[in-house]
Amino acid sequence: MDWNDLGKQVIAAGAPLLGTALGGPLGGAAGNILAQALGSAAPTPAAVQAALPAADPQKLAEAEAQWIETIRAEAETQRTAISETQATIRAEIGSDDVVQRWWRPAYAWELTLECAALWAVLIHEFWTGDVATINALVGATALLVTYWGFRFGVLGVYIGGRTREKVSAATGQDAPGAIEKLVKAVVKKK
């Protein structure tokens, strides 16, 4: 997505509400900047279409410059946030804290033992023919699927995070995540 094109579309439409819907807070900011340039509190698309041809080019240029500065400020904020997050991650990786190094493996082992225990109970109940316990387990299927879906999802995030930490420690650079890899693959195809 080209943010410059989005900004021009939002400014052309002219409604801060439409800008927010299309471009989030930055789109809403573009709509507000245009409203100020045209001297209107909340221009409608029809009013903007009528006012744009007669608008002072200097005011429109100032609005565009203000829009660009808003995007730069947002980008700088995001850069700072990412930089601080990476510094925190590096500090955690470099620490010799036992909890930091062992909590993921402990979580994985505990979850594995938990699943094995349920299977042992289930097989025992089938073996002994305890229909009441089997029915109770079948009745709790939705709860167990939700519970373990969440637990295994968290474990998957942990595993992916640990892999990225190891790659970062080995290479000195942050390893791209799955979404970043997907975005790069899509961008390369265009």
For the chain, the domains span 3-90, 97-188
Tell me the HSE value of 85 on the side-chain side, using a 13 A CA sphere. Answer: 7
Which letter does DSSP use for residue 53 in this model?
T
Q: CA 190 to CA 186: how far, in whole Å?
A: 7
- Our separate counts of H helices and E strands in the chain read 8, 0
Residue 34 · residue 20 · CB < 8 Å: no
Q: What pLDDT does residue 178 have?
A: 66
Token code pair at residue 130: 């305890």
Q: CA 148 to CA 141: how far, in whole Å?
A: 10
Q: Which of 104, 105, 137, 99 is nearest to 121 (CA)?
A: 137
Token code pair at residue 150: 């969440």
Q: CA 27 to CA 9: how far, in whole Å?
A: 9
Q: What pLDDT does residue 70 have?
A: 80
Q: What pLDDT does residue 52 have?
A: 66
pTM of structure: 0.41
Q: 64-82: per-residue pLDDT in tens?
A: 788 788 888 888 888 898 8
Q: What pLDDT does residue 56 have?
A: 73
Q: Which portions of the chain are predicted below pLDDT 50?
A: 15, 22
Which contiguous run of DSSP H or E holds residue 160? helix 141-171
Q: What pLDDT does residue 176 have?
A: 67
Q: What pLDDT does residue 113 have?
A: 94
